[in-house]
Structure 1
């Protein structure tokens, strides 16, 4: 079995007109939500074997918070530009390239792609994966290459406001 956690970046700052989309930082709410959600995953005994993130500042910063709390070395985060630029089909290709020795992976990205990918993979409809929302999808496959539309089982969806 393979387990994939899809994480949308935490809430970002739209206040600086001189900052481009790629460089946007997390705002105050995002800086609180990321460690909170990471701690929630730690309570659920999530141990990542691989972390893949969009290189956009807001996604990478969110991934770094999770790594720090979950005990995954930040320098091992795989940054993939396709997560920032691509759609659900591109995310599927990234997942299919994961080494089969890995059983648990975290993928950090952006909407609408993260929502679309969750819905594609698990066949479970989520209207919109909220900022810092996390979806767990289990797949009864031996190889990540076998990940395909509908191959996943939606297990849960957690997000910050659910716990406030």
Structure 2
């Protein structure tokens, strides 16, 4: 069994229109939500062994908050350029290339791709993965090379406004 936690980056700032999309930082809400959602995964005993992130500043910053909450070294976060502006096939290809030594991973990236991927693994329609939303896919596979649309199912879905209830 292999498990993937897909994490959409936290809310980003549009305060500086001269910044490139790739360089946009998190806004105040994102800076609040990312640590809280990282702690939620820690409380759920997510046991994440590897974090792979889009190189966009908002995704990487989100990943660093999760790594800190989970007790993972920040310098071991893998930056993967193919996750920025990725299609679902690109994300799955990144996962397919991972070492089988890892059983539980987290992928940090962007919408609309993550919402599309979530819907590949569930019979229930998910309209949108909100910022800093996390969904978990459990796959009955032995190798990441086998990960794909029919290899697993969405078993959990969390987002910041849930934790405020």
- For residues 26 and 87 of structure 1, do their structure 2 counterparts lie closer, same or farther at Cα, with a shift above 3 Å needed? same
| Structure 2: gaps (5+ residues) | none
SS in structure 1 opposite 2:84?
A: helix
CA contact (8 A) 2:92 2:148 kept: yes
Q: Equivalences for 1:31-70 in 2 at 5 Å?
A: 31-70=31-70
Alpha carbons of structure 1 residues 72 and 3: separation in structure 2 relative to 1, 3 Å = same
TM-score by length of 1: 0.96
Instruction: Tell me, in whole angstroms, the C-alpha distance in 2 between the residues paired with 1:8 and 1:27.
Output: 15
Structure 1, gaps ≥5 residues long: none
Q: Deviations over 1:65-85 (max 9, x none)?
A: 000110111111111111102
| Deviations 1:31-87, CA, capped at 9 Å, x for gaps | 000000000000001121110000000000000000011011111111111110220
Give CA-to-partner distance per residue, 1:5-31, whole Å, 9 cap, x none: 000000000121111110000000000
Question: Which residue number in structure 2 is paired with residue 126 of structure 1?
Answer: 126
**Normalized against structure 2, the TM-score is what?**
0.96
User: What are the within-5 Å matches in structure 2 for residues 107-126 of structure 1?
Assistant: 107-122=107-122, 124-126=124-126
RMSD of aligned C-alpha atoms? 1.1
Say whether residues 1:8 and 2:43 are aligned partners.
no
SS at match of 2:40: helix
Aligned length: 164
Residue 160 of structure 1 corresponds to 160
Match of 1:75 in 2: 75
